Amino acid sequence: MNEPHTVDGPLGIAAPLSDVDEVELLARNGATEFYCGVAPAAWAVRYGASWLNRRARGRANVPSVDHVAALASAAHACGCALRVTLNAPFYTGDQLGEVAELAESLLGVGADGLVVTDVGLLVALRDRGLAGAVTLSSVAAVHNAGAAAFFRELGVRRMVLPRHVRVSEVASIHARLPDVALEVFVLNDGCVYEEGHCATTHALGTFCLTPWTHDLRRVDGAEPTEDERRSFAAAASEHRRWIWHVDNCGSSFSDQGLPNGPCGLCAIGALRDAGVRCLKIVGRESSTFRKVRSVRLVNSVVAQLAGGASDATAAAYARDLRNTPELCGPGYMCYYRDGDPARSER
């Protein structure tokens, strides 16, 4: 079975799961490991809007530990590991014991790891001898080697870096902490803000997708000039366009049936060179069709690199595969503009 907490081996592809029926299909198309969410009814009844992880009940979360057991069993049958997200931005004192118990139950029924954000939960799991099972969630917002070292001290050996990170920053962290396995986002579901610095809850809707209107003011109290208003209006208009790209380009598919939206395909070579061990495909709540297409898309670029293609060749392959120059051109869909060989040559 592919181990979820290793710094060695080929580049992995972590795919989201909602249902046992997806496991074999996704594994056959290139997924090397899986992650899922769980949202027991009892938690929802007790805590309402304070979710167990960053996604709602329903397709993004299976409803019980038993369902996780079934997913783990199916994943293992395909030689893949399964991790479970317990990555709310934080848990309160009231919640901590309950989450730690749940974590133990999940590992007890076959989950291979837990994706965790909250420092308190990390400490609690460490104290129970379970730190080795933890993957640090992107919601922990690790942007530097010092922060990574802090979590490594708590026993974490695998970390998902935040969405908003540069390839050069990934390389810098890896260079200082080579024994930490790094995972990064590669496809789908962007975030307008830094998730770890966001104090809103998706339980009340997606705050960052609110159709805002902005009224420009000068900090010195003077009236903005017409030029300033024009410049800001242009920036705000482009910002709305960028947000549309971040929001999966309106959840659209290309003419080739490929999922549009945040993408790091062109940067996979650079990410591998920077020390990344696993590529994360986002979208537990997505349709099975979107998941399969996403996994195939990522796997096809990984296969190019595994076959000896240079980073530039693999990036060109990825662009040709997508064939959406109108979306790729501005860079608004890119997770890693600095990892795209074509852009960095400009």
Partner 1 sequence: MGPGAPPGEGWSRVYFGADCCQTLLPTVAVLRSARAQVPSGAAFTLLTPAVDDAGLAHVAALLRELHAGDEVTVADYGVLGLVRERTGLVPVLGTLLTRMLRDPRIPPAAGAFPPATDADRVLRQASVTSPAFRSLLTALGVRRVELAPVAQGFDMDFAAMELAPTLHAPFAPVTGGRVCLFAAMGQAPEHRFEVGAGCHQECRRYVAATTDAEGSMPHARLFTAGNTVFQEHPRDVASRSFAALDVPGARLVVRDAPLAPWAWSTEDRSVARRWLDGTA
84-123 binders of partner 1 (CB under 8 A): 89-96, 118-121, 123
**Among the listed residues 219, 255, 320, 345, the single contact to partner 1 using CB under 8 A:** 219
Check if the beta carbon of residue 123 is closer than 8 Å to that of residue 79.
Answer: no
| CB of 28 or CB of 214, closer to partner 1 | 214
d(CA 113, CA 5): 8
3-state secondary structure of 24: helix
**Among the listed residues 211, 250, 257, 325, the single contact to partner 1 using CB under 8 A:** 211
- Provide the 8-state DSSP code for 48: T
**Among the listed residues 238, 252, 303, 310, the single contact to partner 1 using CB under 8 A:** 238
> Per rule CB under 8 A, is residue 223 in the interface with partner 1?
no
Segment interacting with partner 1, rule: CB under 8 A, options 1-9, 52-60, 230-238, 250-258: 230-238
Tokens 């919640």 locate to 95
| CB of 201 or CB of 300, closer to partner 1 | 201
| CB of 78 or CB of 191, closer to partner 1 | 191
Segment interacting with partner 1, rule: CB under 8 A, options 65-73, 236-244, 274-282, 305-313: 236-244
**Among the listed residues 124, 130, 177, 279, the single contact to partner 1 using CB under 8 A:** 124
263 DSSP β-pair partners: 187, 334
d(CA 346, CA 344): 5
**Among the listed residues 64, 73, 105, 172, the single contact to partner 1 using CB under 8 A:** 172
Check if the beta carbon of residue 5 is closer than 8 Å to that of residue 157.
Answer: yes
| CB of 28 or CB of 230, closer to partner 1 | 230
| CB of 138 or CB of 299, closer to partner 1 | 138
3-state secondary structure of 36: strand
Q: Site map for partner 1, 129-168, x if CB under 8 A?
A: ------------xxxxxxxxxxx------------xxx--
**Among the listed residues 1, 59, 73, 193, the single contact to partner 1 using CB under 8 A:** 193
| CB of 110 or CB of 341, closer to partner 1 | 341
Residue 341: both structure tokens together: 């060989």
Which residues from 279-338 bind partner 1, rule CB under 8 A? 330-332, 337-338
d(CA 181, CA 272): 12
Cα angle: 181, vertex 12, 8; to 5 degrees:
45
For β-strands 181-187 and 158-160, DSSP reports them as parallel
| CB of 72 or CB of 121, closer to partner 1 | 121
Residue 198, Cβ density class (10 Å: 0-12 exposed, 13-18 middle, ≥19 buried): middle
Site size toward partner 1 (CB under 8 A) is 79
Distance of closest approach, residue 305 Cβ to partner 1, in angstroms: 23
d(CA 35, CA 229): 46
**Among the listed residues 130, 191, 271, 274, the single contact to partner 1 using CB under 8 A:** 191
Distance of closest approach, residue 118 Cβ to partner 1, in angstroms: 7
Read off the amino acid at residue 281. I
> Per rule CB under 8 A, is residue 242 in the interface with partner 1?
yes
d(CA 282, CA 259): 12
Distance of closest approach, residue 106 Cβ to partner 1, in angstroms: 18
d(CA 343, CA 346): 5
Check if the beta carbon of residue 86 is closer than 8 Å to that of residue 52.
Answer: yes
